[in-house]
Amino acid sequence: MSAILIESYDVPGSGPSVAVKDCIDIAGARTCCGSRAFADVAPAQRNAHVVQALVEAGYRIIAKASMHELAYGMTGLNDWTGHVENPLYPGLMPGGSSSGSAAAVAAGLVDLSLGTDTGGSVRMPAACCGVIGFKPSFGRLSRDGLTPSDSDLDCVGLFARSMSLIEGAMEQMDPDFAVADPVARPAIGFVEVIADEEVAGAVAAALASLWDAVETCSLPLLEDAFQAGVVKMAAEASAAYGHLVDTGLLGIDVEQRLRAAPTVATVERMVWAQEVKASFIAQVDALLERFDVLALPTLPGFPPHVDAMGDAASILRLSSLVRPFNLSCHPAISLPLTTPSGRPAALQLVARRGDDARLCAIARLFAHSDQNLQHKEIC
The phi, psi pair for 296, rounded to 5°, reads -165, 165
Give me the torsion for CA of 4, 10, 15, 17, rounded to 10°: 0
Look at strands 60-65 and 5-8 and give their pairing.
antiparallel
CB atoms under 10 Å from CB of 161, counted, come to 22
- Burial classification of residue 271, based on how many CB atoms lie within 10 Å of its CB (0-12 exposed, 13-18 middle, 19 or more buried): exposed
Active-site option among 17, 35, 98, 121 = 121
Catalytic residue check, 121 = yes
> What is the distance between the alpha carbons of residues 188 and 296, in angstroms, rounded to a whole number?
10
| DSSP per-residue letters across 244-298 | GTTSS-S-HHHHHHHHHHHHHS-HHHHHHHHHHHHHHHHHHHHHTTT-SEEEEES
Catalytic residue check, 369 = no
Look at strands 112-117 and 132-135 and give their pairing.
unpaired
Q: What is the largest CA-CA distance in the chain?
A: 57
Catalytic residue check, 135 = no
> What is the distance between the alpha carbons of residues 192 and 124, in angstroms, rounded to a whole number?
19
Consecutive H or E run containing 314: helix 312-317
Active-site option among 17, 35, 66, 97 = 97
Q: Which residues are catalytic?
A: 21, 97, 121
